[in-house]
Amino acid sequence: MEHWFRLAVGGTVLVAIAVAVLGWYGVRQRGPAVRAALRAVLQLAVVALVLRGAITNWSLAAVVVAIMFTVAVVTAARRLRTFRHAVPATLVACGCGATVAVGVIVGVPILDRDPKDLIAVSGIIIGGCMTAATLTGRNLLTAIAARDNEVEAWLSIGATRRQALIDLCRTAVFEALVPGLDQTRTVGLVTLPGAFVGAILAGAGAEQAARFQLAVLTGLICAQSITAVTLASIVGGNRSSLRPETGNTRATFGARSR
């Protein structure tokens, strides 16, 4: 009980400091920090109860993974609502990335084939796919806004929408992968990732924890690459994927692209 009390006090202080710093700097969006912390408390409490049974039952583990995936797709799609058909595009992109990466990790198997590892790996991989999809879409929108004239020029000489956007899509994909690549490149030197620390705290040896973390990091590179490329391909090749009211170039796509 003492541990939970210290956690409650410490967590409250940390969130209060974050809100105070944001307020001091004049950032109006301070509420999300508090709401995010409260949601984390509630969600982790529910997850802790659910996982007691799921870590030993394949059927329950599959349900947990399905819920994780659904929430990830909805969250990323909400961030990309500027796009038409954001939900199906995000669903396909994250589905491809997560299926391939988790399939290899569990299918080979790189790790022990049990419900506990499936849930742990899937949660991290699906979260990575969500991040890759969000960053790819947002980076692409930023690139389109910044290079509007360039895209218009390509379209004016008869280029297809895919040809006009391909360079922007490739840049968006790379930028979306930078955080994951940096994490992998500096693992053990700058940070000890959560999967490694979690395995250690759970009683695993350093070698076993390192094996789990390497599986996760390589899985993330695979999953995020597939997710980012798939989303960029869908958005970059679909003439109706961008809402016409969001900018001149996007309005032009509907009339002039083919």
Which pLDDT does position 193 carry in this prediction? 60
Among residues 131, 146, 12, the alpha carbon closest in space to that of 75 is found at: 131
Q: What is the pLDDT of residue 132?
A: 95
What is the three-class DSSP state of 29? coil
For residue 151, the model assigns a pLDDT of 77
As a whole number of Å, the CA-based R_g of the chain is: 21
Q: Cα separation of 233 and 207, whole Å? A: 39
Residue ranges per domain, the chain?
Answer: 1-54, 57-256
Q: What is the pLDDT of residue 29?
A: 75
Cβ count near 243 (within 10 Å): 15
Q: What's residue 229's pLDDT?
A: 95
Report pLDDT for 237.
Answer: 66
* Integer Cα distance of 110 and 11 in angstroms: 36
Question: Per-block average pLDDT, block size 10, for the chain (258 residues)?
Answer: 83 91 85 87 78 74 90 93 88 96 87 81 92 93 82 79 83 91 76 59 65 85 95 75 47 40
pLDDT of residue 242: 54
Round to whole Å and give the CA distance between 164 and 150. Answer: 8
What helix, strand, coil percent values describe the chain, rounded to 5?
80, 0, 15
